[in-house]
Amino acid sequence: MNLERVPNEEKLGLCRKYYLGGFAFLPFLWLVNVVWFFREAFVKPAYTEQLQIKTYVKRSALGLLLWVAVLTTWITIYQHYRAQWGEVGDYISFTIPLGIP
Amino acid sequence: MLFVPVTLCMLLVVATIKSLHFYTDKTDQQLIYTPFTENTSSVGRRLLNSVLNAVVMIGVIVAMTVLLVFLYKYRCYKVIHGWLILSSLLLLFWFSFMYLSEVLKTYNVAMDYPTAGVLIWNFGAVGMACVHWKGPLALQQAYLIVVSALMALVFVKYLPEWSAWLILALVSVYDLVAVLSPKGPLRMLVETAQERNEPIFPALIYSSAMAWTTGPADGEPGRASDEEAEPSGRAAAAEDDDDEQEERGVKLGLGDFIFYSVLVGKAAAGGGDWNTTAACFVAILIGLCVTLLLLAIFKKALPALPISITFGLICYFATDSLARPFMDDLAAHHFYI
């Protein structure tokens, strides 16, 4: 949908729903929120709801960074130590590469 | 403007087929829509079976289109909604999960259940939000392309060779009939939607721009993606509303994306030759060009499948049986033209 034609309260509502939705383990939703509402929050000239949209965008960005950090750490640990974990490693693996690690 | 999404969809399908062997592995498993096997002893038997398969498949497609129109006419919006949501759930979660696992297996990468779970959950949930509810237009378009590609890949994998070509031919004939003849289901769908001044299921359809109407619509126009490959093969231009400024965008049904990609996919899977694939690709785009031209001339809903598929089929068989041996021979004898 095109944000140009949407009234401001609806924009705020949308931003808020995307922000709240992201708490359900959905960092992607936060990413979409940040990218989509960035111009609205920071580039456009000020309007009443803009301050709240700004807070939501900032918090989404924060949440996103947190998730990225956590995921990167976990993936690094997993890829590095998977072979050494033996059975537990295989149990949590969904694909197991062939060949010698 | 429709060239980019169609190209992307086809590229996605061809790239997948060329790199993941899963989608071209011979399997005896077939969809229930094509109950007759092609692993028969004689050629005649095989031909008969493929014809029967095609008939069954087209029968299923006809039945579903008629059912859809029926439901729409009698305003059973909830049922349509539910059906479309179920289909998109299947596509966005299950098929993408399969795709992810095949990609990982091909590139021999390990992945654990938690990470995979998070990835698929995010992909699926955001997809549902964008396609069924509200989301940025570009993302919605991207999801529709991906979903069409996934569906096309399933067809390429599970439709046996000859049945696939026959099905493509028959479905374009059906599309022609369904959209142009006065009692055709798809034409009735378009007309009913226009009468009620509702957008035509904005998400069984890919639109290149957002239509903005404030017409009172009973129930929500269903926004979901097509799963059973209904050939809502029509291209229609968005109408102009007098009161509101409306973006004029060209729309193309998701069934069209799927069948174009199936054609190119089968071409890529069959010979393994890039000449054939490229030829089919170009043929489909030319067909799309011609269709859009006709759309500009006639200004009403037109079937988008027949012209492209016809060109595509002609190109495929011509290239495969004529151009390819010719090129191979030239190359073998180091004869350059």
Average pLDDT, stretch B182-204?
81
Q: What is the separation of C-alpha B142 from the centre of its chain, rounded to a whole number of angstroms?
A: 14
Nearest beta carbon to residue B110 from set A2, A32, A82: A82
Contact A79 B116 (CB under 8 A): no
The Cα–Cα gap between B12 and B327 comes to 27
CA distances from B172 to A34, B233, B311 (A): 43, 9, 11
| A86 domain residue, yes or no | no
Average pLDDT on B328-334 reads 83
Q: Is residue A54 part of a domain?
A: yes
Alpha carbon distances (Å) from B195 to A95, B192, B217, B241, B267:
52, 5, 11, 13, 41
- Look over chain B and give the mean of its residue pLDDT values, rounded to a whole number: 82
Asked if the structure places residue A96 within a domain, the reply is no
The reported pTM is 0.86
Q: What confidence tens digit (pLDDT) does each residue in B259-310 have?
A: 999 999 999 988 667 888 999 999 999 999 999 999 999 988 889 899 999 9
Complex-level ipTM:
0.92
Q: Examine the residue annotation and report whether B175 is marked as an active-site residue of this protein.
A: yes
Min distance A25 CA to chain B CA atoms (Å): 7
Q: What's the pLDDT tens digit per position in A42-97? A: 888 888 888 999 999 999 999 999 999 999 999 999 888 888 887 887 878 888 88
Asked if A38 and B136 touch (Cβ cutoff 8 Å), the reply is no
User: How far is the first Cα of chain A from the last one, in angstroms, to the nearest whole number?
Assistant: 47
Which distant-in-sequence residues (6+ apart) come within 8 Å of B102 by Cβ?
B20, B22, B23
Q: Which two tokens stand for residue B179?
A: 């959209």
pLDDT tens sequence across A7-28: 888 899 999 999 999 999 999 9
Bigger pLDDT: A22 vs B334: A22
Provide, as residue numbers in chain A, all residues whose Cβ is less than 8 Å from the Cβ of B121.
25-26
The chain B residue lying nearest A82, using CA atoms, is B110
Structure confidence by residue, pLDDT tens digits, B123-144? 999 999 988 888 898 999 999 9
In a domain, A7, yes or no: yes
Q: Which domain holds residue A18?
A: 3-80
Inside any domain, residue A92: no
Catalytic residue check, B329: no
Tell me what percent of chain B is helix, strand and coil, each rounded to the nearest 5. 65, 5, 30
Written as one string, the DSSP assignment of B57-95 is HHHHHHHHHHHHHHHHHTT-HHHHHHHHHHHHHIIIIII
Contact: A21, B129; criterion CB under 8 Å: yes
Helix (H) / strand (E) element for A11: namely helix A8-21
In what helix (H) or strand (E) does residue B315 lie, and over which residues does it extend? helix B305-318
What is the structure's pLDDT at B232? 43
pLDDT of residue B230: 41
Residue B205 phi/psi, 5-degree rounding, is -135, 140
Q: Residue B6: which pLDDT band, with cuts at 50, 70 and 90?
A: very high
Number of domains in chain A: 1
The number of residues making up chain B comes to: 337
Q: Is residue A88 part of a domain?
A: no
Do the domain assignments include residue A11? Answer: yes
A32 contacts on B by Cβ (under 8 Å): 126, 135-136, 139
Query: Does residue A56 fall inside a structural domain?
Result: yes
